[in-house]
Structure 1
C-alpha cells in the first residue's frame, strides 16, 4: 500500500474511531464516516466493502500490531529488546490498550463488540499458547489445554473491562503483576 492509500485508510480509521466513541455503531452511516474522513464514497468503497468490514480490518490491524512478535520502540514504551517473556508481552499489550484508549472503549462498547472480543480472544489464545503454555512447566497437567487457554484469555478480557471501567488507574506494569499473580498458581 502506498503512502497516499495509507493516509486515506488512516483518515477513515480515525473518523470511524471518533464516531464509535460518540455514537452507537448501528447509527453510524458510511456517509458520516466519509464526511468526517473527508474522502469520497468511491474512495471508501475501494478500501472497504462495508462498515462491518471496516470494523473487522480496524480490529485486525490493531491486534496485528499489538501482538507483534517484534515490538518496536514507541512514544510511550519500548519493548523492542524484550525477551518474549509473559511479563513483557502482557505489559506491552496493556500499554497499547491504554494508548488506544479511545479506540478500545469505542470498540468494546459498540453493538459489534462481539466481533472485537472474538478477534481479541483469538489473538490472546495464540499468545497464551506460544508464550505461556509452551514455556512453562505446568503443575496441573490434568487440566485440558483448551480449557486453560479459554480461562486465561477470558480472565484477561475481563481484567481489561475492569481496568477501563475504573478509568485505567493502574499502570500497565501494575496490572501485569495483578494478572500474573492470579494465573501463576495454575502453573
Structure 2
C-alpha cells in the first residue's frame, strides 16, 4: 500500500472512530464516514466493501499490534526488554486497550459488540495458546487444553469488560496482577 492509500485509510479509520465516540455503530452510515473523512464514495469503497469490513479491518489493525510478539518502546510504555515474558505481554495488551479506550468503550457498548468481541477473542485465543500455555506450561493433564484456552480467553474478556465498567481505574499492571493470581493456579 502506498503512502497516499495509507493516508486515506487512516482518514477513514479516524472518521469512523470519531463517529463511534458520538453514536452507536448501527446508526453510523457510510455517508457519514465519507463526510467525516472528506473523501468520495468510490474512494471509501475502493478500501472497504461494507461498514462491517471497516470494523473488521480496524480491529485487525488494532489487535495485530496489541498482540504483537515484538514488544517495542512506545509513548506510554516500554516492554522491549521483556520480549517473550507472558506477564509483560499481558500488561502490554492492557496498555493498548487503555490507550485506545475511546474506541474500545465505543465498540464494547455498541450493538455490534459481538462482532468486535469475536475478533478480540480470536487474537486472544492465539495469544493464550502460544504464550500462556506454551511459555508457562500446563501441568494438569486432567483439564482438556481446548477447555482451558476457552476458560482463560473468556476470563480475560470478562476482566476487560469489568475494567471498562470501572472506568479503567486500575493500572494495567494492577489488572494483570489480578488476572495472573486467578489464572496461574488453573494453569499449574
Normalised to the residue count of structure 2, the TM-score between the two structures is 0.96
Hey, what's the Cα distance between the residues in 2 that align with 1:177 and 1:26? 36
Match of 1:109 in 2: 109
Match of 2:57 in 1: 57
- Correspondence 1:1-187 to 2 at 5 A: 1-186=1-186, 187=188
How far the C-alpha of 1:105 sits from its partner, in A, is 0.9
Does structure 1 conserve the Cα–Cα contact (< 8 Å) formed by 2:67 and 2:127? yes
Q: Deviation string for 1:107-129 (max 9, x for gaps)?
A: 11111111111111111111111
Hey, what's the Cα distance between the residues in 2 that align with 1:175 and 1:20? 26
* Structure 2 residues without counterparts, runs of 5 or longer: none
Secondary structure at the aligned position of 1:138 is classed as coil
Hey, what's the Cα distance between the residues in 2 that align with 1:86 and 1:29? 40
Q: Deviation string for 1:132-169 (max 9, x for gaps)?
A: 11122434221000000000010000100011111111
Secondary structure at the aligned position of 1:49 is classed as coil
Hey, what's the Cα distance between the residues in 1 that align with 2:6 and 2:87? 33
Does structure 1 conserve the Cα–Cα contact (< 8 Å) formed by 2:71 and 2:83? no
Normalised to the residue count of structure 1, the TM-score between the two structures is 0.96
RMSD of aligned Cα (Å): 1.0
Hey, what's the Cα distance between the residues in 2 that align with 1:70 and 1:139? 27
* Structure 1 residues without counterparts, runs of 5 or longer: none
CA 1:133/1:39 → structure 2, altered by over 3 Å: closer, same or farther? same
Q: Which 4+ runs in 1 deviate beyond 6 A? A: none
Hey, what's the Cα distance between the residues in 2 that align with 1:32 and 1:181? 45
Kindly tell me the number of residue pairs found equivalent between the two proteins.
Answer: 187
Hey, what's the Cα distance between the residues in 2 that align with 1:86 and 1:69? 10
